[in-house]
Structure 1
């Protein structure tokens, strides 16, 4: 066990992994073994280490937990590769010595994480109960080098672990339980959805792509379309970052942060509308105008709104013809900065019932067609009119 402790403490390039869990708690336990602590103190320390491991991995896999820590670690080797991808012209050359160190330390981590509870119990000379854990014996060098070679698609840190994020207080925070909607669960609106998919595919291929405004009636699936399309291209390195309207003034800072990540992002602004005096209009306009200059090649902005014109007209704006003309031009100026504008209108009766039938089929709900249609129509009337959202709510209700 002394050799194991020395191996962990010798990590330099991946020092962050040494002080992350579960290795930090493991080191505390090993130091107590090394120092000849009493059996009671060692049992307590061992129990604490295994408790930490269980909290990190419900499969009790030491190797998996150490891998998670490694993926989250922003070490010099990873940072150099990121910098090279983001700004290849100004990237410095990586020393061969550091490359060799990375390979050697990854081999060491493989050895460290391959231990199971059996080895530790044997070293404690204790016949009583001690909790067990296992190891999937990951080849850290092979797996990490594969990750490094595919950063643009697999991601790293939080971008490897999560698909969707939200701006909160100017910081990028992961959404740990995102909307699970997929394109296969969206019905009707095929023409609208295909426009968004085609634009997103062009964006990922490095071709010409536009910022998009999805507008129209409430509950027609605009936000669901954006989230489902992001999930559709997750394995191609696409991530979604939602920007609340309250954070729009921080747009330039958010874009600066995302341009330093060698992945592709949908910057999503949901339910957009402004009063004519809102200062956020100028901030959004300037960012949309900047798209043409190529300053954010890895970011597209997708916004949704129930309004075609994102700036609301006040009563005073209608006071005279000249003012009215200026107001219309101002209202149009923001929405027209989106190169792709897609209308989602309320479904007719046939489309509404088609959505209901398809969702029931997807979930295995079997109700006679006439009865289903009658109940669905009654639900729509009580809900204020047909919409894709109401169709989904109705199916959720009858599905239990």
Structure 2
């Protein structure tokens, strides 16, 4: 049993951003022998690990049109688990294009191996000031490999600076058993203020590039073309047909899926146009609305 609160209580400084943090002695204890995924919670000053038991499982073969992105992240993850050099990864691009799903799908392949030693900790970007503490804590559990997952990175208030120095630039080396996988709608993570003068704007650009450089593996995601969007929708419909047809019933899944697609194609295109986004998420949202007779 590994107690994060015990670890932090023995630090000289238990203040973060000038505020004293109370460590929940019960909930902060976690058994990494059984916990595969945990969420780092910081609620009203109480900090603890929440063990995930109802996992949002994503299968690699359910992701359409993302073969190259999956390959890149999977190769990096394999190298990490094999003790080889691996990189922090930033998955960036248009909203709803599968960035988080790719991370979940790739990691899911290794999380549930019988004797696997991969563990995942989800950390909200607002809690990045805790990252140095987390790194120190995880460094002391070398028998496991930890991927810290953070969704939707973007910074406009300097919060990224402590993470930047933690990822690289400190006297202490990065923990060999920790990687950071993050997603962002921005390729360069520090947003430029419209009120900045030219010098400040250039400084922001330099900061942005310096922080993005902490993620050597940069994987781009892009909005789908109409044909690609419909291919994703066809795959979603095909899975639905396969899961819902009566066992023993003779049905050609491909033919049935194509029939449904033809009947909803125009509505699906109009839906994507209306929300201004052709992506796997919008295709999934459309089909859910269609099944519920809400569109």
User: What TM-score comes out, normalization by structure 2 length?
Assistant: 0.76
Given the alignment, which residue of 300, 318, 323 partners 2:200? 323
Tell me which residue corresponds to 2:182. 303
In the aligned structure 2, how far is the partner of 1:203 from the partner of 1:223?
A: 19
Mapping 1:85-96, distance limit 5 Å: none
User: Aligned match of 1:165 in 26, 33, 38?
Assistant: 38
Further displaced range: 352-361 or 380-389: 380-389
Runs of 4+ off more than 4 Å: 290-294
Listed one character per residue, the Cα deviations across residues 347-399 of structure 1 (whole Å, up to 9, x for unaligned) are 11111111111111122174514223223212212332211111111233334
Cα pair distance change 1:202/1:337, threshold 3 Å: same
Cα deviation for residue 326 of structure 1 reads: 2.3
Cα–Cα, structure 1 residues 243 and 229, in superposed 2: closer, same or farther, change >3 Å?
same
Q: Which residue of 2 aligns with 1:377?
A: 269
- Quote how far apart the aligned CAs of 1:291 are: 9.1
Matched, 1:394 2:286: yes
- How many residues align? The count is 243
Counterpart in the other structure of 1:111: none
For residues 395 and 161 of structure 1, the distance between their equivalents in structure 2, rounded to whole angstroms, comes to 36
Query: Equivalent residues in 2 for 1:205-244 (5 A)?
Result: 205-234=82-111, 235=113, 236-244=116-124
Verify the 8 A CA contact 1:215 1:307 in the aligned structure 2.
yes
Structure with more helix by fraction: 1
How big is each residue's C-alpha offset from its partner over 1:48-90, in whole Å with a ceiling of 9 and x where there is no partner? xxxxxxxxxxxxxxxxxxxxxxxxxx49xxxxxxxxxxxxxxx
Superposed displacement of residue 163, structure 1:
2.8
What is the Cα deviation at residue 305 of structure 1? 0.5
Contact 2:92–2:183, Cα closer than 8 Å, also in 1: yes
Render the CA deviation track for 1:210-269: whole Å, top value 9, x for unaligned: 000001111011111111111111113212111111211000111222223321111011
**Which structure 1 segments of 5+ residues have no match?**
1-73, 76-156
CA distance in 1, matches of 2:59, 2:71: 14
> Separation in 2 of the partners of 1:229 and 1:291?
30
Gaps of 5+ in 2: 3-29, 243-255
Partner of 2:238: 361
Render the CA deviation track for 1:310-344: whole Å, top value 9, x for unaligned.
11101222x23x33322211221111111101111
Aligned partners of 1:165 and 1:242 also within 8 Å? yes
The correspondence for 1:252, drawn from 117, 128, 132, is: 132
* Superposition TM-score, scaled by structure 1 size: 0.57
CA contact (8 A) 2:69 2:102 kept: no
Residue 337 of structure 1: aligned partner:
214
Larger Rg: 1
Q: Deviations over 1:74-120 (max 9, x none)?
A: 49xxxxxxxxxxxxxxxxxxxxxxxxxxxxxxxxxxxxxxxxxxxxx
Question: 1:19 — aligned with what?
Answer: none
Change (3 A) 1:313 1:173: same
CA RMSD of aligned residues (A): 2.3
